[in-house]
Amino acid sequence: MPFSSLFRLDLRRLIMLLAFLSGIATLSNTFYASYQVQREALIQNTLEANRVYATKLAASIEEYFEAVRQQLGYSAALLSEHFSDETLLRAELARLKLQTDSFNSVFAVDAQGTLLDIYPETLSQLRGIRATSQAAQTALSAKIPLISEPYQGASGYLLIAISSPVWTREKRYLGYISGTLYLEQPNMLSRLLGEHYYRDGSYLYVAGSDSRLIHHVDPKRIGERVPNNPVIKAVLQGETGSMQLINSQGVEMLAGYAPIPSSGWGVVAQRPLKAVMAELDSLMWAILYQSLPWAVVGLMTIYLFARLISQPLWQLARGARSLDAENAQDQIQQVKAWYFEAAQLKRAVLAGFSTLRQRIGVLTRDVLTDPLTGLYNRRGLRVTLDTWQLKQQGFAIIALDIDHFKQVNDTYGHDMGDQVLKYLATVMQECSRTADLACRNGGEEFLLLLSGAHLEDARQVAERLRLRMQLADIPHIDRSITVSLGVAEWYPNSGITVEHVLKMADQALYAAKQQGRNRVVTAAVDVEQANLG
């Protein structure tokens, strides 16, 4: 076989190998970078979701405790002049137990610690005994409404007691009435917590002030003390937040937590990191499977172009060996087409991975947008602000907030609250231009950035948006939904940072709230006049 044929064959193989390795390296690097971005986004979103969830549940439990304390307080006031009347006392205890089913049992203890009566009747054998538990002694000595730590009751159950003192009109202490919640038996509290069990590996638990588990998805762990868990330590110190940790069972968790102030307890909602990563793995495999056909097409194109590359390179080598020939310059001129072929090869590789990049673009947009409203989130806001600053592009800011949004959630439920948020997002997009940016800043707080707009223009847009919401007829909501808005402006070389302008818009929004809500306040004029006033 001629030497020239061997050289051409080896060169073609080398080019093909280099092209294939470059393509695989690019695919692997892009895939890995996408995986890392999505992994971090999923972890942060899960932590935030668990924090919000724990906060809402802690608020619900706090409301429940407030309701049962009111029930006990009402009964204590009712019995203040009839505490020694066995008939009335038994009837009131029965009413407390049966009317709302808030307690597993209800009992009354006199000032000397004697159990006067108890309901249900199945516990009647306990009447007349001395209440010697730590919870009873604390209630007798403190003489104030209390929620006890878990203890083993005379009934044999692990329980907590919620008590209210009984005083006469002459301020004489008679004892207390108490409702108990058996931690290992069904009751209102267990139902409230049990309704929030996920099927994706997530679960929640409640820890008492002594680090003892009051509620857990595994009933066997109720009553167990977990003193070295960093999440429990944080929530029992009154902190609200989220944390990635390895729990007492050695499982890596993504936890959100919030305290219950009246009881000193803490709610923790958590999900195994492994379950979160399983979702990401499934997503990345799906992207890979959909991209493989295009990758195969791209690699085949690389193979064809590699074969074409060998011919002009061979012509270059032949021209180099015959520089003194008359047509040597023409041969080298032909080699110049090699650069065009190389560019074609590069485009073929890029075309082969265009589908993957589109997928990555979709994932990137998901990271930058709010999943509920489709508006940009804080990351998207930051990217846009950085871009506009680099371009020295002025803009106006409208900060807006739904008035009394908590009342909407409390009255109509969180699903209807979400519908209101999505409706407001739609109105914001309809009241803005393509070049503008609508952003959900968190909760019911939104921002609208108007590219190239001045303060008066933004104020008019804000007023139009406010009026649209005030007159909106949202299905299934029989009240007017209003918004308060703050307007500010940033322009290049103003000497004011974008962060300060954002704060000005927020202050204007706060001023709108202070002035009665459902109004527009501009940072440059209205806020200053309010401060002077």
User: Concatenated DSSP letters for 338-352?
Assistant: HHHHHHHHHHHHHHH
* pLDDT band at residue 351 using 50, 70 and 90 as cut-offs: very low
Q: Which two tokens stand for residue 328?
A: 């040597």
* pLDDT band at residue 338 using 50, 70 and 90 as cut-offs: very low
Residue 74, domain CATH: 3.30.450.20
pLDDT of residue 160: 86
Place of tokens 């060169």: 11
In whole angstroms, give the CA distance from residue 45 to residue 58: 20
> Is 359 within a domain?
no
Measured from the Cβ of residue 304, the count of other Cβ atoms closer than 10 Å reads 11
In whole angstroms, give the CA distance from residue 266 to residue 258: 6
Q: Which two tokens stand for residue 406?
A: 């908590």
Question: In this structure, are residues 400 and 446 in contact, taking their beta carbons and an 8 Å threshold?
Answer: yes
Q: Which of 116-125, 327-336, 351-360 has the highest mean pLDDT?
A: 116-125
Percent of the chain with pLDDT over 70: 81
* pLDDT band at residue 456 using 50, 70 and 90 as cut-offs: very high
Q: Are residues 474 and 490 in the same domain?
A: yes
pLDDT of residue 12: 61
pLDDT of residue 313: 55
pLDDT of residue 3: 46
Q: Are residues 302 and 393 in the same domain?
A: no
pLDDT of residue 315: 53
Cite the DSSP H helix spans in 226-272. 230-236
- 308 burial type by CB count under 10 A (0-12 exposed, 13-18 middle, 19+ buried): middle
> Is 361 within a domain?
no
Q: Residue 28 above 60 pLDDT? A: yes
Q: Are residues 402 and 510 in the same domain?
A: yes
In whole angstroms, give the CA distance from residue 108 to residue 121: 14
> Is 103 within a domain?
yes
* pLDDT band at residue 530 using 50, 70 and 90 as cut-offs: very low
> Is 409 within a domain?
yes
Coil, helix or strand at residue 437: strand
Q: Are residues 265 and 199 in the same domain?
A: yes
Measured over the CA atoms of residue 376, residue 381, residue 387 and residue 391, the dihedral's sign is positive
**Cβ partners under 8 Å of residue 337, min gap 6:** 312
pLDDT of residue 417: 92
Question: In this structure, are residues 309 and 15 in contact, taking their beta carbons and an 8 Å threshold?
Answer: yes
> Is 45 within a domain?
no
In whole angstroms, give the CA distance from residue 252 to residue 246: 4
> Number of structural domains, the chain?
4
> Is 42 within a domain?
no
Q: Are residues 138 and 9 in the same domain?
A: no
pLDDT of residue 97: 87
Residue 413: closest CA among 477, 463, 460, 361: 477
In whole angstroms, give the CA distance from residue 48 to residue 379: 14
Which strand (E) or helix (H) includes residue 119? strand 115-119
pLDDT of residue 353: 38
- Which domain-ending residue is among 160, 179, 198? 179
In total, the chain counts a number of residues equal to 533
Let me know if 499 is a catalytic residue: no
Which strand (E) or helix (H) includes residue 92? helix 86-100
**Cβ partners under 8 Å of residue 516, min gap 6:** none
In whole angstroms, give the CA distance from residue 214 to residue 212: 6
Region 215-236: mean pLDDT is 86
Which strand (E) or helix (H) includes residue 270? strand 265-272
Residue 58: closest CA among 265, 312, 293: 265
| CA 291 to each of CA 36, 38, 300, 302, 359: distance values in angstroms, whole numbers, following the listed order | 18, 18, 14, 16, 9
Region 454-465: mean pLDDT is 94
Question: In this structure, are residues 78 and 92 in contact, taking their beta carbons and an 8 Å threshold?
Answer: yes
Q: Are strands 520-522 and 395-402 parallel, antiparallel or unpaired?
A: unpaired
Region 91-117: mean pLDDT is 89
- Residues 280/286/292/293 CA torsion (nearest 10 deg): -160
- Which domain-ending residue is among 162, 179, 196? 179
Region 428-440: mean pLDDT is 92
The pLDDT tens digits of the residues spanning 380-396 come to 889 889 889 888 999 99
Q: Residue 335 above 60 pLDDT? A: no
Q: Are residues 416 and 500 in the same domain?
A: yes
Q: Which two tokens stand for residue 425?
A: 């997002």
Q: Which of 25-34, 71-80, 208-217 has the highest mean pLDDT?
A: 71-80
More confident residue, 80 or 192: 80
Q: Are residues 513 and 429 in the same domain?
A: yes
Where does 296-431 show beta strands of DSSP type E? 395-402
Residue 518, domain CATH: 3.30.70.270
Which residue out of 444, 463, 499, 528 is catalytically annotated? 444
- Which domain-ending residue is among 179, 202, 223? 179
Query: pTM value?
Result: 0.50
In whole angstroms, give the CA distance from residue 398 to residue 486: 6
Q: Are residues 75 and 112 in the same domain?
A: yes
Q: Are residues 130 and 154 in the same domain?
A: yes
Eight-state DSSP code of residue 129: -
* pLDDT band at residue 462 using 50, 70 and 90 as cut-offs: very high
In whole angstroms, give the CA distance from residue 180 to residue 199: 30
Q: Residue 279 above 80 pLDDT? A: no
Residue 448: closest CA among 458, 457, 413, 456: 458
Question: In this structure, are residues 70 and 77 in contact, taking their beta carbons and an 8 Å threshold?
Answer: no
Q: Residue 343 above 60 pLDDT? A: no
> Is 43 within a domain?
no
User: Which residues are 258's β-sheet partners?
Assistant: 267
Measured from the Cβ of residue 493, the count of other Cβ atoms closer than 10 Å reads 7
What is the rounded average pLDDT for all residues in the chain? 81
The pLDDT tens digits of the residues spanning 400-433 come to 999 999 999 999 999 999 999 999 999 999 999 9
In whole angstroms, give the CA distance from residue 294 to residue 354: 8
Residue 463: closest CA among 392, 403, 522: 522
Q: Are residues 497 and 400 in the same domain?
A: yes
- Residues 518/524/526/528 CA torsion (nearest 10 deg): 130
Q: Are residues 31 and 104 in the same domain?
A: no
> Is 289 within a domain?
yes
Backbone angles phi, psi at 478, to 5 degrees: -100, 35
Eight-state DSSP code of residue 149: P
In whole angstroms, give the CA distance from residue 506 to residue 400: 8
- Write the Ramachandran bin of 493: left for phi over 0, alpha for psi from -120 to 50, otherwise beta: left
Measured from the Cβ of residue 107, the count of other Cβ atoms closer than 10 Å reads 27
Q: Are residues 403 and 519 in the same domain?
A: yes
Q: Residue 438 above 90 pLDDT? A: yes
Structural domain boundaries, residue 252: 51-57+187-275
